[in-house]
Structure 1
Amino acid sequence: MAVVETPSPDGRARYRRILRFAARAIAQTWWYELALPRVGLRRVAERTRARRLQRTAQRFRGLAVDLGGLMIKVGQFLSSRLDVLPPEVTRELEQLQDEVPPVPFPAIRALAETELGVTLERAFSWVDERPLAAASLGQAHRARLAEEDARLAGFDEVVVKVQRPGIDRIVAVDLAALRRVARWLDRVRIVSDRVDMPALVEEFATTSNAEIDYLHEAADAERFAMEIADRSRVAAPEIVWERTTGRVLTLADVTAIKVNDVEALRRAGIDPAEVAAEFAAVMFDQLFGDGFFHADPHPGNIFVTPGEPGEDPAWRFTFIDFGMMGHVPEGLRRGLRRLVLAVAARDGAGLVSAIQDVGVLLPTADTADLEHALTQLFARFGGMGFAELQEVDPREFRAFADEFGEVMRSLPFQFPEDFLLIIRAMSLTSGLCSALDPTFNIWEAVDPYAQRLLAEETRGVVRDVVSRVVSFGGTAARLPGKIDALVTRAEEGRLRVESPAVERKLDRLDLAVRRVVSAVVFAALLVAGAILQATDSVSGIVLMSLSVVPLLHAVTAGVFSRASARGRGTRGGGRRLR
């Protein structure tokens, strides 16, 4: 999508209003954070900082609610940037709700008919004019497919999601304003040293443009359905492609029990605690297994669908709204697995190392404070569930959060977009599970998954070690022959030797190589056997027993080699090396 630098006339007022707010916030920050400290009034700035930041966040919240559109998304996006913004700001922005007054149905009808190329009466046998849900970018209506479409689809009850009229122009104007603000901030060294603002805005632009492209969302919905096709616990709605365009999305109506409706779950005979545990497992599989995950798993986007009597499983999760999906590349996925293992082991240093491997923290960063903070976190709160955390003194919690947040903001890192979506998904998952089950413990949910990852890692190590053993064995079998051939050429005069010590050195090299190779093979077999014994005791014992052979060779090779060398020296016809 082209960058919009000059908004159309109807968007200029909106554009200028956003820039005025940004200019005021930047000027206020410059005055208090840069100017006052230079004239000896640093304490004044520090004493008023929390209140000023909160007021600025409140003004932005009011601006976002008033303008609607993309500005609400901006607030929600910034509320997750714990690496960039202080808690006074993120706490205020977290209160933004993506709920706005619905668009009158005549405007929705006009846009839908223009997109579909037919009247709504032709496309559907019935459409509910009352919106099922209204958000900043679009709204949804229940409908029923026309008879022929229903016969082809195999169902007739659908939900039609229609974009808010003019939202593409609003998004373009908002992104143009945000790009201008990003360029302003990029000229401020205190900001540019901490974060690449233009890149941050482009991350947000990519997500926003994907979210208003319903064909993209439909493709992601189908991909998600394919990824979970072999999992009976998870489902996704079918897409009605004949009634889907870039601005209209029609999909099967899968409305069921809202995932956080505890009373409805109990009436259906479903244990909310079981739902919490299963939901955590489902999200872990998406994040660390498939690498393609639903990045907006809030309660409005997940239903619990009861099965037919006698069906196994008795219920399943049905995900909707695939406008915000995350992809985890294989390299990042390996790093995330290390993160899970470090969290499960309550290993602060290991967690810092994994964070560096993931690439969100520069290798040159001084991580001593972060390791200390994480160690304190695990020591004080590690293993606590939501109910136990509620019993912690709020002042202690607040003091630790402030200290930890200060450490995080002092380090030179910035999360990539996919990593931000991971954090968002995990945060929503933890909150939802805790709402379903007050005794839910995220640590206990991580542990079984970490054990599974550890078993997979162990099998991978065993395969690698066995492969190395075979490789070393082949090398060990070939090296003595090659060295003997080299010595033979030297004895036959086909290798020019200028020093009388060469033959003796070759003998020693031959002996050293044989012993080193034997020692390596012994160690490889022993380690492989020890690791494998945990999962396959028979194979483990066999490998450990075989390790005795190269061990004996490594120990005794020197004795037999020296005896052989003395024999060659006696039979050498007076050609002795001194």
Structure 2
Amino acid sequence: MKSLLRARRIGTVLLRYGLDDLLAGTPAARWMKLARPFVPRASGEIASQPRGARLRLALQELGPIFVKFGQVLSTRRDLVPPDIAAELVLLQDRVKPFDGQLARSLVEQALGRPVSEAFEHFDTTPLASASIAQVHAARLPGGREVVVKVLRPGIDKQIDEDIALLNALAGVVERTHPRADKIRPREVVAEIQATLAAELDLHREGANASVLRRNWLGSRELYIPEVMWDYSGEGALTLERVHGIPADDIAALDAAGINRRALAANTVRLFYTQVFRDNFFHADAHAGNIWVDSDPARKADPRIIALDFGIVGQLSPSDQYYLAENFMAIFQRDYRRIAELHVQAGWMPATVRLEELEAAVRGVCEPYFTRPLSQVSLAEVLLKLFRTAQRYQLTLQPQLILLQKTLLNIEGVSRTLDPDIDIWKEAQPVLEKILRERYSLRRVFKEARRHLPELATQAPEMPRLLHQWLQQQVDGQHQLSMRSDDLQTINASLQQMQRRVIAAVVGVGMVVAAVLAVVPVVKIVCGVVGALALIRAWWK
């Protein structure tokens, strides 16, 4: 019953803002048409606005969950028309605050003690109010300034109800909309659900902040506030209070004498370092979550302050490698390499003709390279590459969508600070340096040394397993069990995989022999041969 009432409320708001055309081609359109005479229209001022602006206003009226829905949808430019995406970006993460005394009682419930005991002072007037939580200023015993983030009361239940309704609507759209395969409604709802679940877990947000702070402790480029774990609980998170200027407040930055060009370049470099050095990046890095240290001593070399750590991103080692190589291939305009990498990464089936895919990639990239690089958006190039690849059965990679969204945010912030910034010029040296270090011979030996105890533990079994495996190869009895549906992809890379397996087995055997050998010369020879074989097995 509640879902029906909520659906009615949504339908009424959509009709009032003249958005029923968004449901054209679905069964809901028929009901909307019947209900239209009974719903008062919005004012002429609203009716005259474009559909993107009307949708933004409707989402704001529907409440905090739909505001978040619009924010997530604004990042999916592969699914949303450009005019709507541009308007949804304007959605501010500011909603009507809830009562400060209620916030105080929720903090007491989360901490298990009175606020007067935990804090020297707690301000019931919120500093900021968002769709999921709001933030209050406080002071710890001893005088240290902090902020307390507290979840909205009943927000988890409200989210569950709205997600259930959105899933039901997505099912209708999926079954009836003529372009459902392009819109992919269930995928959009799943992404929204995952985003909201991450933001509801304040313990996880605190852990994210702690890891980011550890990665950048002592840095002159980025500052992460300290988490006060003794003053945090399941429904409340206390952080060190920081002061700065929002990254999109250009007037305030100029008044403070901040070097905006240096700040924009620093923003880009920090993003690529987080992704490819740390493999742990702030994935909600819009302008509201990026402040600039207002310390006058730092105006020539400004430091960024990051806020709100509910959403972070990580990539698998394989995705990291292939994504980095894709970026480098784009920098070098090596279209053949881009096509090969998409297939090697398993993002596309091996049946794709590389020449055809290379031509499609060239068609996407070449028009951009006729412009000055300072006018080229790397995020836009990547987005169009993914859109083009979808025509060749691209397997959707959720982790890459999150990274793409963050890249769009970072480029947006950087260009707001410095419209002439050359994203490519700032990103390429950072990426090259990280790749040199990550895939250097020294790193290989370091990783091999780290895994040596594990190899030594398994060493007694290696001769028997090696003999058994080789005997199977000679007798033609080797069996390969596969669960993947993409057999053609596996078959295409099978020979390369076998060569790497053989090299790995030989390498491990030689390393074990080096460990067990008594004669120094034998130790050295076996060690060198084993290392070379392992490098051959590891090197892509």
Superposition TM-score, scaled by structure 1 size: 0.63
2:316 aligned with 1:329, yes or no?
yes
Q: 2:411 aligns with which of 423, 427, 430?
A: 430
Match of 1:69 in 2: 64
- Residues 249-276 of structure 1: per-residue CA shift (max 9 Å, x gap): 1111012233344555556554221122
Q: Which stretch shows the higher mean deviation, 87-96 or 257-266?
A: 257-266
Q: 1:226 aligns with which of 214, 232, 257?
A: 214
Shift of the 375–84 alpha-carbon distance from structure 1 to 2, 3 Å rule, reads same
Please state whether the residue corresponding to 1:179 is helix, strand or coil: helix
Match of 1:115 in 2: 110
Partners in 1 of 2:438 and 2:215 — Cα distance? 23
In structure 1, give the amino acid aligned to 2:235.
Answer: R
- Residues 69-99 of structure 1: per-residue CA shift (max 9 Å, x gap): 2111111212222222332332332232222
Match of 1:136 in 2: 131
Match of 2:270 in 1: 282
Contact preservation (8 Å) 2:256, 2:299: no
Partners in 2 of 1:402 and 1:303 — Cα distance? 27
Contact preservation (8 Å) 1:369, 1:407: no
Contact preservation (8 Å) 1:69, 1:167: no
Partners in 2 of 1:349 and 1:120 — Cα distance? 62
Contact preservation (8 Å) 1:112, 1:120: yes
Partners in 2 of 1:63 and 1:412 — Cα distance? 35
Contact preservation (8 Å) 1:19, 1:181: no
Give unpaired runs (5+ residues) of structure 2.
30-46, 449-540
Contact preservation (8 Å) 2:259, 2:302: no
Q: 1:101 aligns with which of 91, 96, 100?
A: 96
Alpha-carbon offset, residue 453 of structure 1: 4.8
Q: Which stretch shows the higher mean deviation, 327-336 or 160-169?
A: 160-169
Contact preservation (8 Å) 2:227, 2:239: yes
In structure 2, give the amino acid aligned to 1:416.
Answer: Q
Superposition TM-score, scaled by structure 2 size: 0.67
Partners in 1 of 2:237 and 2:134 — Cα distance? 10
Contact preservation (8 Å) 1:258, 1:300: yes
1:304-319 matches, within 5 Å, as 304-305=292-293, 316-319=303-306
2:241 aligned with 1:253, yes or no?
yes
In structure 2, give the amino acid aligned to 1:381.
Answer: R
Shift of the 414–56 alpha-carbon distance from structure 1 to 2, 3 Å rule, reads farther
Shift of the 312–184 alpha-carbon distance from structure 1 to 2, 3 Å rule, reads closer
Q: 1:342 aligns with which of 308, 329, 336?
A: 329
Alpha-carbon offset, residue 321 of structure 1: 0.6
2:204 aligned with 1:208, yes or no?
no
Partners in 2 of 1:454 and 1:239 — Cα distance? 32
Match of 1:28 in 2: 24
Alpha-carbon offset, residue 333 of structure 1: 0.6
2:431 aligned with 1:439, yes or no?
no
Contact preservation (8 Å) 1:292, 1:327: yes
Alpha-carbon offset, residue 414 of structure 1: 6.1
Please state whether the residue corresponding to 2:25 is helix, strand or coil: helix
Match of 2:366 in 1: 376
Please state whether the residue corresponding to 2:367 is helix, strand or coil: helix
Contact preservation (8 Å) 2:76, 2:405: no
Contact preservation (8 Å) 1:131, 1:141: yes
Please state whether the residue corresponding to 2:303 is helix, strand or coil: strand
Shift of the 134–360 alpha-carbon distance from structure 1 to 2, 3 Å rule, reads farther
Shift of the 233–144 alpha-carbon distance from structure 1 to 2, 3 Å rule, reads same
Identity %, equivalent residues: 28
1:3-82 matches, within 5 Å, as 9=2, 13-18=5-10, 28-30=24-26, 57-82=52-77
In structure 2, give the amino acid aligned to 1:374.
Answer: V
2:157 aligned with 1:169, yes or no?
yes
Partners in 2 of 1:463 and 1:145 — Cα distance? 47
2:173 aligned with 1:185, yes or no?
yes
1:157-556 matches, within 5 Å, as 157-188=145-176, 190-191=178-179, 193-194=181-182, 197-229=185-217, 231-262=219-250, 264-265=252-253, 270-305=258-293, 316-361=303-348, 363=350, 367=357, 370-381=360-371, 383-385=373-375, 407=388, 410=391, 412-413=393-394, 415-453=396-434, 455-456=436-437, 459=440
Partners in 2 of 1:385 and 1:461 — Cα distance? 38
Match of 2:527 in 1: none
Please state whether the residue corresponding to 2:120 is helix, strand or coil: strand
In structure 2, give the amino acid aligned to 1:286.
Answer: Q
Partners in 1 of 2:26 and 2:225 — Cα distance? 50
Which is higher, the Rg of structure 1 or of structure 2?
1
- Residues 145-199 of structure 1: per-residue CA shift (max 9 Å, x gap): 134xx6xxxxx10011122222212211111011112222333485554465434
Match of 1:528 in 2: none
Match of 1:36 in 2: none
In structure 1, give the amino acid aligned to 2:60.
Answer: V
In structure 2, give the amino acid aligned to 1:219.
Answer: A
In structure 2, give the amino acid aligned to 1:146.
Answer: P
Q: Which stretch shows the higher mean deviation, 338-347 or 188-197?
A: 188-197
In structure 1, give the amino acid aligned to 2:104.
Answer: R
- Residues 101-145 of structure 1: per-residue CA shift (max 9 Å, x gap): 222323323333333333333332222333221111121121111
Alpha-carbon offset, residue 401 of structure 1: 13
Query: Please, what is the CA RMSD of the aligned residues?
Result: 4.0
Partners in 2 of 1:84 and 1:67 — Cα distance? 22
In structure 2, give the amino acid aligned to 1:14.
Answer: R
In structure 2, give the amino acid aligned to 1:343.
Answer: I
In structure 1, give the amino acid aligned to 2:172.
Answer: W
Alpha-carbon offset, residue 299 of structure 1: 2.5
Please state whether the residue corresponding to 1:83 is helix, strand or coil: coil
Partners in 2 of 1:226 and 1:402 — Cα distance? 32
Partners in 2 of 1:402 and 1:158 — Cα distance? 39
Contact preservation (8 Å) 1:87, 1:405: no
- Count of aligned positions: 418
Please state whether the residue corresponding to 1:328 is helix, strand or coil: coil
Contact preservation (8 Å) 2:258, 2:300: no
